[in-house]
Structure 1
Amino acid sequence: MKTISSVVEHYIKSKPFLLSSLSQGIINLTSLARIMMPELEAHLGKDVKQGAIVMSLKRLSEELDFKINYKISKVLKNIGEITVRSSLTDYTFVISDTLLDNQAKLLSEINRLQDIFYTSSRGVNETNIVTSASVEPIIDALFKGEKLTHKIDNLSSITVKLPQENISTPGVYYYIFQRLAWEGVIIHEVISTTNEFTIIVSDEQIDVAFKVIKDLKNVFD
């Protein structure tokens, strides 16, 4: 049986930006309840009092405040080293029988060079490689027989070291990427390990993205 509380919770949780704003207490609950009322009444099939919606929103906002402010803030305040690299190129190749061998050859070549950025991720149908722009001649030679579907130059990376608690705290990545989205940052690639993640953005947006990441430590102060 549907209740006002369950329908309100479903409504809020289906709208990520509204969810975050509610948790920060920056929304007028009475005004929000008035906007929500027609949709909630349609779901419940009966009239709903505005005051009941406000009470459900208040309880939900208090619950969200605990989950986000007390748990996620602990992780964000302990963010470790932030590393920025520039002059990167992003490649996407269709997976083939020879692609993995060519990647191995590429790694062998890169190991002979100094201060080279390299990361790769493999999906079901394609493989992504992000590397320093200086490696482009090597990639062009080794992968000339592969099908290239995507290539973007003039990119930068931000690598963030997260504390151990991040693996047992839900919503950490969601919150970080939401803050980046609010600032209009377009993320070209995301690469993550257990306690570290890297985002790839355009050179034009690296300053904005870096400020967002750096300011995460103080966002709950």
Structure 2
Amino acid sequence: MSQGKEKNSIAREVAKWLDKQPYIRVCLAQHLVNYSSLARRVQAQLNIKNFDAVMVAIRRYSKTLKGVQDISTKLQRVLSNSRLEIRTGINVYVLNQGLSEYIKELSGYVHIIKGFEYYLLITDTELGSPFSKKHENLVEIRIKSPEEIESTPGVVFYIYEKLFERNINIIETYSCWTDTLILIQKNELVSALEALEELGVS
């Protein structure tokens, strides 16, 4: 293989790898990456010996990410203009049959989601009827964002990423227009609020 073809092949291989690394892509777009350190990591991951070719490929790739940087700025604006509401005592029930026998038990706060095989019933009521699975006494975090969230990619990704960094497990999550709702265990609430505060959500 000629030297030019080899470099083009390496560039494609590096770009393909970087496409699968969202955290690194964001840092590259914001010029927060040490190229030499990243090049050595890419070399190890892809078993490429030509360090210089990897460096060139990374620099070339980073120049294609201006759009990511622009989106990141817009994303941060959406998050900083979002507000939190907290609701405790939420129960989640997985039902494998119709809702008719449960309706008479329901009062107060109720959300119903229909999947392919099951219903998901989210409520502050404790059910006595049989169900397939339950999570009780959860906390609901409701993030109320501006309408701009509809045209801003990555908002939910950033939120989930922050919770993931703190090892917070999301029991259920769903959205209603500009509201993003996340259900977690009660003992993880403080850590979750700290994570969201780091994003500018309060």
Shorter-chain TM range is 0.7 to 0.9
Q: How many residues align?
A: 193
Q: Provide the rounded CA distance (Å) in 2 between the counterparts of 1:205 and 1:127.
A: 26
Pairing 1:51–2:34 present: no
Deviates more, 1:50-59 or 1:165-174: 50-59
Residue of structure 2 in register with 1:100 after alignment: 99
Unaligned runs of 5+ in 2: none
**How much has 1:71 moved relative to structure 2?**
2.6
Letter in 2 for 1:197: T
The SS at the match of 1:217 is: coil
Residue of structure 1 in register with 2:138 after alignment: 155
**How much has 1:169 moved relative to structure 2?**
1.4
Q: Provide the rounded CA distance (Å) in 1 between the counterparts of 2:158 and 2:60.
A: 21
**How much has 1:215 moved relative to structure 2?**
2.9
Pairing 1:70–2:73 present: yes
When the two structures are superposed, what TM-score results if normalisation uses the length of structure 2?
0.80
**How much has 1:91 moved relative to structure 2?**
1.0
Residue of structure 2 in register with 1:6 after alignment: 12
Q: Is the helix fraction higher in 1 or 2?
A: 1
Pairing 1:32–2:38 present: yes
Unaligned runs of 5+ in 1: 42-46, 111-115
Question: Do the aligned partners of 1:23 and 1:68 also contact (CA within 8 Å) in 2?
Answer: no
When the two structures are superposed, what TM-score results if normalisation uses the length of structure 1?
0.74
- CA-to-partner distance for each residue in 1:101-146, whole Å, 9 max, x for gaps? 245445xx41xxxxx33222111111111211xx21xx21xx34xx
Q: Provide the rounded CA distance (Å) in 1 between the counterparts of 2:112 and 2:30.
A: 37
Residue of structure 1 in register with 2:114 after alignment: 122
**How much has 1:26 moved relative to structure 2?**
4.5
Q: Provide the rounded CA distance (Å) in 2 between the counterparts of 1:208 and 1:197.
A: 18
**How much has 1:205 moved relative to structure 2?**
0.2
Question: Do the aligned partners of 1:190 and 1:200 also contact (CA within 8 Å) in 2?
Answer: yes
